Amino acid sequence: MEEERLVTQITPKSEDFSRWYLDLIRRTELADYAPMKGMMVIRPYGYAIWENIQRLLDERIKATGHVNAYFPLFIPESFLRKEMEHLEGFAPEVAWVTHGGADELEERLAVRPTSEAIIGFMYSKWIKSWRDLPVLINQWANVVRWEKVTRPFLRTTEFLWQEGHTAHESYDEAQAETLRILDMYREFVETELAIPVIFGRKSDREKFAGALATYAIEALMSDGKALQMGTSHNLGQHFAQVFNIRFEDQGQNLQYIWQTSWGVSTRLIGALVMAHGDDSGLVFPPRVAPLQVVIIPISIGDWKENVLPRAVELKNRLEKAGIRAFLDDRSEYTPGWKFSEWEMRGVPLRLEIGPRDIKNNQAVAVRRDHLEKSIISLDGLEEKVKEILASIQSSLFNRALTFQTGNTRQVSSYEEFKAVIEDKRGFIQAYWCGSEECEAKIKEETMATIRVIPLNNEKNQKGECIFCQKEARIMAVFARSY
């Protein structure tokens, strides 16, 4: 059977992680390559994850007082030019629209790489008084960055994201918002994606073009490389000065506003693949899995008469209980083929039901996290399934946390640093003097970058810079990253 051959075509993860990732994404129909360099199509099975992410994150964005809006896709070049630091950060990556229909445009339009410039301009029209503040707006949108090296979900020319853009009366309020969102992201990723993260400030070298400070959550993928999962920027008054966004404060003085911006993207889908997947394929945490349960009828004898109707009934019961269930009733595939197919597609729980199971009022349950079988009674099935799904969710988180903890190492010499990066990867905690030069050299020699500087650690510690051995007060977390 052609399909059976295809299942075995996935390169084992242990053999070639990168190949495994690409094989898996295409074979499980999460995404496919588009015919334009660096662009992809998010197929229904992958997009269903994005819909779950959107729903679960949007709830949190709204619960913290934000509202959604939509700003234009195009940004005039002059707007980006107003803010040279920002333009320089993004210019190499901008796709430019030069013609509308047959006519050449008077001014080129950037396809938004991010929306600070256009939103800054609009805020300058909308914000007049302290009564208008805070402005807490988020946008779900597509953005384009002309990347040289691309990889589905992780780095693509176009991607989907949410970008929050807020305006405040004071630095303190903006800083509180920046950290509130960082914590919202951390809680969201750990709870829903079952991926533990570390968090902290980025070094100046790694911060967002135009920001006062960038904060990020970072996770360890199962090959030991780090992935930036989300960022939250305190923009200070930088864009406010560029776009002249001023408000009359309560003392009737004109002041520049203080801003933040923050985002997560479809990259999170790539993180799910790389953090939880194994040699058998995808492993999705139940809370964001496209399907949570797959029911496979054992197709022997007159199964269509005896087994199928009970399988349909089970599926309906699960769906009624709010569980995303799928019944694979195709007769052109064997049960065995379906088992490995749905394992590969990462469905958290498989229920097998055959004639004997029906007689015994039971189903065979196989969890995707450890592939162990158990027998469960059809009485109270819904509650039992919910318990198993919750158990899978926490077992995946704990597994990933154990991996992260086991792959976070504090080193005290540069030799050790290089050895760990080369042999084991993972997060490396090391003292850093704070100089961009040391940071750049370390990157050049080891391909490791500072992922985050954990919050507030600067006050309490003192040691020697891992590179120059000068006094260092910062314990930074380094890693090779995607």
Interface contacts to a copy of itself, rule CB under 8 A: 32, 34-36, 39-44, 47-48, 50-51, 67-74, 76, 79, 91-102, 108-109, 111, 118, 121-122, 125-126, 131, 137, 141-142, 144, 146, 157-158, 160, 332
Shortest Å, Cβ 110 to a copy of itself: 10
Cα(336)–Cα(161) distance, integer angstroms: 38
Segment (H or E) for 22: helix 17-27
Q: What is the DSSP string of 128-150?
A: -BGGG--EEEEEEEEEE---SS-
Shortest Å, Cβ 140 to a copy of itself: 9
CA 33 to chain CA centroid, nearest Å: 20
Strand 349-353 relative to strand 293-297: parallel, antiparallel, unpaired?
A: parallel
Q: Is the separation of the CB atoms in 458 and 474 below 8 Å?
A: yes
Nearer to a copy of itself, 100 or 322 (CB): 100
Cα(182)–Cα(189) distance, integer angstroms: 11
Cα(60)–Cα(64) distance, integer angstroms: 6
DSSP H helical ranges for 193-259: 238-242
Shortest Å, Cβ 42 to a copy of itself: 4
Nearer to a copy of itself, 3 or 204 (CB): 3
The two tokens of residue 180 are: 């509130």
Least Cα distance to 482 among 68, 17, 74 occurs for 17
Nearer to a copy of itself, 104 or 415 (CB): 104
Nearer to a copy of itself, 3 or 172 (CB): 3
Q: Is the separation of the CB atoms in 91 and 117 below 8 Å?
A: no
Nearer to a copy of itself, 122 or 448 (CB): 122
Nearer to a copy of itself, 142 or 360 (CB): 142
Shortest Å, Cβ 36 to a copy of itself: 6
Shortest Å, Cβ 98 to a copy of itself: 5
CA 95 to chain CA centroid, nearest Å: 24
Shortest Å, Cβ 276 to a copy of itself: 22
